[in-house]
Structure 1
Amino acid sequence: MKISITKYVLPLKHTFSISRESHDFQDSMIVGLSRDGETGYGEATANPYYKMTFDNMKAEIEAVRNEIENFNFTLPETFHAFLVSKNLSNFAICALDLAANDLYGKLLNKPLYDIWQTDNSTYPITNYTIGIDSIPKMVEKMKETPWPIYKIKLGTKDDVEIVRELRKHTNAIFRVDANCAWTAEETIANAPILQKLGVEFIEQPLKADDWEGMKKVQQHCVLPVIADESCIVESDVPQCGLHFNGINIKLTKCGGLTPARRMIAEAKAMGIKVMVGCMTESSVGISAIAQLIPQLDYVDMDGAMLLKEDIAHGVIIEQNGNIVFPTLGGSGIKMR
């Protein structure tokens, strides 16, 4: 195989703010793996919370470039195990694993969901994310993109008021994501009000390691609670299954499609809900997520919708939330 590594700076339509950070651009690493006239593409975005930059992800891959290019690629699963043995970060592994899966499907001329024998005729609709801003700006963003389900980023002193005001302008389903900004007491107190305002669930209200707080939330919260920052890798699933009603898997955090599929199976065996979320990726990362959606209860794959300009062709998300899957094999990605 031959590797290519390219940096893209993705411009966002609006400043994107959550409880701990804001940004107008998203750095992204696109990896290409080429063999037999086909190229598979994968993506990992930089993330300050996890101390991941384009430069350090690229340096990790360059350090083992020769070994990767000489690897006898047959299956994405064996390639992923090889990458793990090289002690790469999960972000770098994710980009390579997504590229390997896309390449594998293209070589077989089959989409991944078909290779995995999943039926894509039914699937959950993605939510559309409204980042933290002034309340008038958040209302404006919502009106700009009418959508059946919104994820509302919270973590301010006016959280309940934000949801109350947004509710005046839409009948859409709401999900709220506090990104670790609340206490157990706040979560329990906010939940009945949010429930009356049409909120479906709360995502990651407490700090990632606040398991004692989550015990209280599990006992007293009237809304389901979904783990995000508490659920990074496969080994986190059992504990999250005891403290949350579901998990939100991020491909970059867990290391790609290969471990994500195992996490989905484990969560389902525990009887908890499964969501896959994005990290403001382009259509490269989003098209990979889309291959998983027949297996999911919820999905957050609006990353490319939040960009001023996309860098790739892949899945198309229509205004009503329907997905048009590409005809190419793998994740169906073509770079623009």
Structure 2
Amino acid sequence: MQIQLKKYTLSLKHTFSISRESHDFQDSLVTCLSLNGETGFGEATANPYYKITVESMMQEIKKIEKEIISFNFTTPELFYQFLVDKGLTNFAICALDLAAHDLYGKLQGKTLYSLWNTNIEKYPTTNYTIGIASIDEMVAKMKEKPWPIYKIKLGTDKDVAIVKELRKHTNAIFRIDANCAWSPEETIHNAPILKDLGVEFLEQPLKADNWEGMEKVMHHSILPIIADESCIVESDVEKCGLHFSGINIKLTKCGGLTPALRMIKKGKELGLKVMVGCMTESSVGISAIAQLLPQLDYVDMDGAMLLKEDIAQGVQITDNGSVVFSNLNGSGITLL
């Protein structure tokens, strides 16, 4: 098996701000795995919160490059276990696991969603994210991109006022993501006000390790609470079942499609709503997420829509939110 690593710096259409950081660019690692005339593509983006850079991922992968080249590739699951045994971070594993799944589908001559026996006739609509900015800027972003569902990033001293103002300009569903910025009391207080403003759910309002606070919120919030920073890997799902209404799985954080499929299954067994989110990936990562759509209740796969210029072709999202799947197999990806 041949391997190639490519670093990209993705330019964003707008400065993207959440409660703890802002950026205009997103560094991304794209991996290419080739076998028998087919090439699979995977992606993982850098993230300062988790202290992951493209360079650190590349260093990890290059240390075992010879072993990857000589690996007898048969299934993505066996390749994933090999990577776990080598001690790679989940971010680096994700980049390789996505490429392995794309490659496997291409070798099998099937899309991933068909290999998983799922039907793409019905699937959730992605939200479109509005990052923290001045109210005028946030309104302008909504007007620039009319959309049926917006994820609103909050974590300021005027969060409710922001939502009230945004509501004047659209009838779209709102989802609120405070990225760990609220207290339990603030969350419980805000929930009924936000529900009246057309908010569907709250995503990760409290710090990731505030389990006592999240249990309190779970029992007193009028809105559903979705875990994000509290649900990183497979072992987190069961704990989240006691503290949240649902989970938001990030492929980059959990280690790719292989663990994500197991997390989806476990979440459903626990009666949780299941969402998959993105981390400002290009169409490489977004097309992998799209293969999971029939299995999801909610999805946040707007990463490529936030970019000035994409680096790949794959799944396309139309102006009304519907998804056009690639006619290629695997995740349906080609690099531009």
Tell me, yes or no, whether TM beats 0.5.
Answer: yes
Distance 2:241 2:296 in 1: 16
- Secondary structure of the corresponding residue to residue 305 of structure 1: helix
Offset from partner CA, 1:140-192 (integer Å, 9 cap, x none): 00000000000000000010011000000000000000000000000000000
- Secondary structure of the corresponding residue to residue 243 of structure 1: coil
Q: Which runs of 5+ in 1 are unaligned?
A: none
Deviation at 1:5, TM superposition (A): 0.2
Q: Which letter does structure 1 place at the counterpart of 2:21?
A: E
Equivalent residue number for residue 32 of structure 2: 32
Equivalent residue number for residue 80 of structure 2: 80
Deviation at 1:109, TM superposition (A): 1.4
Q: Which runs of 5+ in 2 are unaligned?
A: none
Equivalent residue number for residue 151 of structure 1: 151
Moved over 3 A (4+): none
Distance 2:65 2:117 in 1: 32
Offset from partner CA, 1:224-257 (integer Å, 9 cap, x none): 0000000000000000011000000000000000
Instruction: Confirm or deny that 1:296 pairs with 2:296.
Output: yes
Instruction: Confirm or deny that 1:186 pairs with 2:189.
Output: no
Equivalent residue number for residue 234 of structure 1: 234
Equivalent residue number for residue 335 of structure 2: 335
Percent of aligned positions with the same letter in both sequences? Answer: 73
Offset from partner CA, 1:198-247 (integer Å, 9 cap, x none): 00000000000000101110110000000000000000000001100000
Q: Which letter does structure 2 place at the counterpart of 1:332?
A: G
Deviation at 1:196, TM superposition (A): 0.2
Distance 1:54 1:171 in 2: 39
Q: Which letter does structure 1 place at the counterpart of 2:256?
A: G
- Secondary structure of the corresponding residue to residue 24 of structure 2: strand
Instruction: Confirm or deny that 1:10 pairs with 2:10.
Output: yes
- What's the TM-score, normalizing by structure 1? 1.00
Deviation at 1:108, TM superposition (A): 1.2
Deviation at 1:49, TM superposition (A): 0.2
- What's the TM-score, normalizing by structure 2? 1.00
Q: Which letter does structure 1 place at the counterpart of 2:87?
A: N
Distance 2:334 2:62 in 1: 24
1:168-183 correspondence runs (5 A): 168-183=168-183
Equivalent residue number for residue 275 of structure 1: 275
Q: Which letter does structure 1 place at the counterpart of 2:215?
A: K
Equivalent residue number for residue 259 of structure 1: 259
Offset from partner CA, 1:47-94 (integer Å, 9 cap, x none): 000000011000000000011111100000011011000000000000
Distance 1:158 1:319 in 2: 31
Equivalent residue number for residue 197 of structure 1: 197
Deviation at 1:271, TM superposition (A): 0.5
Distance 2:164 2:72 in 1: 56
Instruction: Confirm or deny that 1:70 pairs with 2:70.
Output: yes
Equivalent residue number for residue 121 of structure 1: 121
Distance 1:62 1:130 in 2: 37
Distance 1:142 1:243 in 2: 32
Equivalent residue number for residue 165 of structure 2: 165
CA RMSD of aligned residues (A): 0.3
Distance 1:109 1:127 in 2: 31
- Secondary structure of the corresponding residue to residue 266 of structure 2: helix
